[in-house]
Amino acid sequence: MIEQQVQLPDGRTLHAYDTGSTGVPVIWNHGTPNVGAPPEPLFAAAERLGLRWISFDRPGYGGSTVDRGRTVASVARDTEAVADALELDRFAVVGYSGGGTFALGTAALLGDRVSAVVTLAAIAPYRAEGLDWFTGMVPSAIAALGSAAAGADVREALHRSGFEYDAGFLPADFEMFDGPWGWLGKVAGPGLDAGPYGQIDDDASYTRPWGCDPRTITAPTLLLHGTADGIIPASHGRWLAAHCPTATLQLHEGASHFTIVEHAEEGLTWLAQQL
């Protein structure tokens, strides 16, 4: 794994990861709160399919500079900067949870530069017409995102109050964490080592205008979502599928916000077929 700091014109830096110089480039967008190291459980599949993982810590996570007030579009520009630094003309994007939203934003903003998109449990735009955004979320998700919708300062106050997030884990989630996808725990703790603003600013960005429109995505897009997702309900996936003209939705019956990652390898296989 190659790790490097990418310097941005505004003085910020992004901590980037690269699994190697060969293979079709795929940029991984991590979840909230994680660092950006690409997903180890998918390394073997990526090698088999001829894919090269690239990723970075979003601002405020790991080794990347905080960027208060960031949006989905500004993170897409950060993605563009990483791609430019690595001299990538075109690339695919994959994202899990909130990372799926940033993957969609990158495809919307960068157009033909993005060759294909796969998301797992992506978040739809806040106040999207025809979507009851909070319905089906566990109480902790409503508290975190509801406070973020009131402002990043309100979300920060919730954090400072000692708020503890209860993800509502299901028995199948605990079983999954005992296997290869226990890796999610490996990247979650370090996600907050640099301070709380990665998570706070992620949550705030999900409730701000994106600064780009997912309905303009032209790249082939696969949306994976679980019907038992209590953090980002499947209604978000349905809305995205209905409004993104190149999107296909695969709903997995009984899959949670966490066990949906067990279907990531089939998403990668689909991705490789588009490239």
The residue among 243, 244, 239 whose CA lies nearest residue 219 is 244
Distance, CA of 212 to chain centre: 16
b/e map 23-54, b = 16+ CB within 10 Å: ebbbbbbbbbbbbbbbbebbeebbeebebbbb
The residue among 117, 119, 115 whose CA lies nearest residue 24 is 115
Q: Domain boundaries in the chain?
A: 2-274
* Bridge partner residues of 5 (DSSP): 15
* pLDDT tens, N- to C-terminus, the chain (275 residues): 999 999 999 999 999 999 987 899 999 999 999 999 999 999 999 999 999 999 999 999 999 999 999 999 999 999 999 999 999 999 999 999 999 999 999 999 999 999 999 999 999 999 999 999 999 999 999 999 999 999 999 999 999 999 999 999 999 999 999 999 999 999 998 888 889 999 999 999 999 999 999 999 999 999 999 999 999 999 999 999 999 999 999 999 999 999 999 999 999 999 999 98
Give me the pLDDT at residue 191, please.
84
Q: How far, in Å, CA of 237 to CA of 121, rounded? A: 7
| Start-end of H helices in 36-128 | 43-49, 72-85, 98-110
Q: How far, in Å, CA of 15 to CA of 170, rounded? A: 33
Tell which CATH classification among 1.10.10.60, 3.40.47.10, 3.90.1010.10, 3.40.50.1820 matches the domain 2-274. Answer: 3.40.50.1820
79: left (phi over 0), alpha (psi -120 to 50) or beta: alpha
| DSSP labels, 25-43 | EEEEE--TT------GGGH
pTM attached to this predicted model: 0.96
